Amino acid sequence: MCKIIAIANQKGGVAKTTTAGNLGIGLAKAGKRVLLIDADAQGSLTASLGYGEPDAMEYTLATVLGKIINDEEPEPQEGILHHAEGIDLMPGNIELSGLEVSLVNVMSRELVMKEYLEQLRAEYSYILIDCQPSLGMITVNALAAADSVLIPVQAAYLPAKGLEQLIKTIRRVKRQINPKLEIEGILMTMVDGRTNYAKEIVQLLEEGYGSQVRFFQNHIPLSVRAAEISAIGVSIYRHDPKGKVAEAYTALTKEVLGDE
């Protein structure tokens, strides 16, 4: 059975893309067939995996979704890139911004991505969707297609404050569009374990949401090494395999696999 996980937060800069890439490669290292979907118009996941010019790519997620909107049948594996670290990638780029606008007038507009991903389910164990930092139509499409949502939250006041709106949106999608949608869990990221401030934010969130939502036991620590990987196009496992961030993503991968 394939599991589709949307990785979402309407706040940018919370290590969402870093989590999508490293969790995906962690699952592949554990022997799973993994497809990453870059559903962000900035193409951050595509660029961070070493594909330097996402906006110059001819075939991306926008191409596929555009075909479905126009009642054309995309070839399931068309445009999917095979990455050296064992995962597949459907890249994203700026064309998703234009698609977001055109989706407004499409019938069953929330279900376009679901229609595409249903064709791919048989090929993969996990499909991870890196959502854009907004609650627009592309993100709603990702939530409508997903089995669960993993929410990375930076251990700081403003990102934590925005969590309530995201959880409301997830519940609305579950109620109106995708009844099977669950929250996979909240992942605390960029945690500076040396400060009381970070510990207080984590404690505050767990007190506020812990009874309704699972919190992953493993936190992703704040690290310069993690910030470097986006620029050099490899995972943390290649860049700093013995570091604390690689260790944290390995532990997160085990938690996600423990749900099987």
Give domain 3-257's CATH architecture.
3-Layer(aba) Sandwich (3.40)
Per-residue model confidence as pLDDT tens digits over 70-84: 989 888 889 999 999
Per-residue model confidence as pLDDT tens digits over 202-215: 888 888 888 889 99
Residue 159 CA: distances (Å) to CA of 85, 105, 155, 201: 31, 32, 8, 10
- Say yes or no to pLDDT of 142 above 70: yes
pLDDT grade, residue 159 (50/70/90)? low
Reference 10, options 142, 203, 192, 179; nearest CA is 142
* Helix (H) or strand (E) segment spanning residue 161: helix 157-161
For residues 132-149, average pLDDT: 94
- Say yes or no to pLDDT of 230 above 80: no
The confidence score (pLDDT) of residue 123 equals 95
Which pTM value belongs to this model? 0.94
Give the chain's radius of gyration (CA, Å): 17
The count of residues in the chain is 260
In the chain, DSSP finds a helix count (H) and a strand count (E) of 12, 7
Relative to beta strand 88-90, strand 81-82 is antiparallel
Report the range of poorest mean pLDDT among 3-17, 226-240, 243-257. Answer: 226-240
Provide the percentage of residues in the chain whose pLDDT is more than 90. 62
The confidence score (pLDDT) of residue 103 equals 86
For residue 70 the two structure tokens come to 């126009």
For residues 234-240, average pLDDT: 88
- Say yes or no to pLDDT of 189 above 70: yes
Q: Where are the domains of the chain?
A: 3-257
The confidence score (pLDDT) of residue 199 equals 84
The confidence score (pLDDT) of residue 260 equals 67
